[in-house]
A and B are shown apart, each in its own frame.
Chain A
Amino acid sequence: DTGVSQDPRHKITKRGQNVTFRCDPISEHNRLYWYRQTLGQGPEFLTYFQNEAQLEKSRLLSDRFSAERPKGSFSTLEIQRTEQGDSAMYLCASSFSGDSSYNEQFFGPGTRLTVL
């Protein structure tokens, strides 16, 4: 399967701990996105990369959050000093920037974070 993969699928942590999630995009895709989805809501945009450059960050992404895409392939999302309000599904998506006005974003299965 050559879709977007995310690891881990589930993470339970205690408040105050740091967590890191990984996303592997579809191999030829140069854009990578992170979204967050809380219960009963639609996904909300957090940040996106084109190759290794982080081009946009949402105001939702507080200074406890950091995302990297060091070689323009996989990406990591780290949350420091987790809070209960960080409990959510973290979704990764990737796309290939081309000539069309919209480049379809393909989503991974998500990482469900529970902060106790």
Chain B
Amino acid sequence: AQSVTQLDSHVSVSEGTPVLLRCNYSSSYSPSLFWYVQHPNKGLQLLLKYTSAATLVKGINGFEAEFKKSETSFHLTKPSAHMSDAAEYFCVVIVFGNEKLTFGTGTRLTIIP
């Protein structure tokens, strides 16, 4: 079985400052990990994915995440927050051969002007 834990339900940062959204995973097999973003009244959008290639993964809109097996973590970062980054972010795990995505409970990111 696999699971993800998002360590913060809500993160607030000032515009122009760094963003850190934390995620820890648990998996019996080598996992694939993702971050999805959900803006109000819009569908979930894939930000980035880790599928056992490079451990530092770059995504859209300047986001990146690093897979750390020793820490079972996959934290999402961005050097400089923009107002348009305000949204709900989900860390997601999937195991090869298993079709279902397992989502974390989400982190709501608020950007302070």
Contacts and interface: CB of A to CB of B under 8 A. Distances in A.
Contacts of B45: 107
B20 interface: no
B90 A55 contact: no
Contact of A40 (B43, B90, B105): B105
Contact of A43 (B49, B94, B103): B103
A95 to B, nearest CB: 9
A65 interface: no
B99 A41 contact: no
Interface stretch (A11-19, A75-83, A96-104): A96-104
A53 B32 CA distance: 25
A3 B49 contact: no
Nearest to B32: A102
B44 A107 contact: yes
A101 B51 contact: yes
Nearest to B91: A42
A102 B96 contact: yes
Given A102-B51, A109-B41, A109-B42, A48 B100 contact: yes
Given A4-B43, A102-B94, 17 more contacts: A41-B106, A42-B92, A42-B105, A42-B106, A43-B90, A44-B103, A48-B100, A56-B99, A56-B100, A93-B44, A101-B52, A102-B51, A104-B46, A104-B49, A106-B46, A107-B36, A107-B44
Interface of A: 3-4, 31, 33, 35, 40-45, 48, 55-56, 58, 91, 93, 100-102, 104-110
In the A-B complex, the 6 residue pairs with the smallest Cβ-Cβ separation, listed nearest first, are: A42-B103, A45-B100, A107-B44, A107-B43, A109-B43, A102-B32
Interface of B: 32, 36, 41-46, 49, 51-52, 90, 92, 94, 96, 99-106
